[in-house]
Structure 1
Amino acid sequence: MHRVIFSRIINAVAILLITSLSSFVLMHLAPGDPVAMYLSYDMSDAEPEAVERVREAMGLNRPLAVQYVLWLSRAVRGDLGYSLT
């Protein structure tokens, strides 16, 4: 009986991790630059320094693995990130 419960818990955790990884990858495969959408629809009026500051603040200049771990830890706490609306 304990083996079945343990197996189901492991399967549930694996499914949650795969689902979260899929969501994260789909967000990064979406067309467009998130910083460009955050600042304005066309980057013509944004200074390069401002773009770099926003990238740093959002953590988009970090490696993808680090971004995923930070995103997952925030999502577990209920912080789903920046809203563009």
Structure 2
Amino acid sequence: MRDLANQGHISFVNVGCGNRPTRRYDPTDIEAFMLARKSVANSRIVAGGRSTTQSQTIDASDFQARLDARAKARSQV
């Protein structure tokens, strides 16, 4: 967490009075950081004889839209 805060990825509140900062993190800032970094690894893909793993960021609203579209398509059949 300290490195992420030092790099500016997560904000914190310094509640210390001394030379060293005493950091407190807002849960909403942590949640926003986690949502921005959320990804799912796809299955392994073999490319040029090497196996690699690709990752993809998933938005929950996209997932719900696909579920709704599938349900609508099934109800029309």
Tell whether the structures are fold-level matches, with TM greater than 0.5: no
TM-score, reference length from structure 2 = 0.27
The higher radius of gyration belongs to 2
Greater relative contact order structure (CA < 8 Å, 6+ sep)? 1
More helix by share: 1
TM-score, reference length from structure 1 = 0.25
More strand by share: 2
